[in-house]
Amino acid sequence: MKTFVSILFFSSLCFSIMFIFCKEAVFKIQPVTDPEVNVEKIEENVGCSFNLIKTDSIGHTTSHKFLWICLDDELDTVRLENLSHAIIKDIYTVRPGRYHSFTIHFFKTEDLCHTIEDSNPFAKIEFLPEGKWSYVGRRPINEYKDYLLVSSWYNQ
């Protein structure tokens, strides 16, 4: 009986260890490709390397675009805004008039967990008509007076 219990305990321990390592391999966040974002071109223009780890959009004729970006190091506000402008400009070049607003979440590589939902961004930049969510989608894109980048920084 002791042998059976020992074997069962050892098997459970091995299974648990294997599950942890396999789970890391399955849930490790990998860069994605998006035909609207030319990562190599943006990296060259801005001088900053990044990985696009997720994109999404909501809306029908005009949409709000979400992007999740991974950086090796945290950037200062100016460089982060330059990178955001370059990404948005690249998307507008491919799909002009498609998106009326953007939200870009920024993560450091070292802060990524198994899923994006479990990870904490260090910053978020929103590109909104006149800088306000209340104006998003209320008018046609060409009737907005101005767009503003709104930066939010999070404490880690």
pLDDT in tens, 14-51: 445 544 443 343 346 788 888 899 999 999 999 999 99
Q: What six digits make up the tokens of 68? A: 């999740």
Asked if 109 and 50 count as a contact pair (C-beta separation under 8 A), the reply is: no
pLDDT in tens, 124-145: 999 988 787 877 777 776 777 7
**Phi and psi torsions of 69, nearest 5°:** -120, 140
pLDDT in tens, 85-95: 999 999 988 98
How far is residue 107's CA from residue 56's CA, in Å, rounded to a whole number? 16
Average pLDDT rounded to a whole number, residues 64-84: 92
Instruction: Output the pLDDT for position 1.
Output: 59
Tell how strand 99-108 and strand 63-71 pair up.
Answer: parallel
Asked if 42 and 86 count as a contact pair (C-beta separation under 8 A), the reply is: yes
Instruction: Output the pLDDT for position 28.
Output: 61
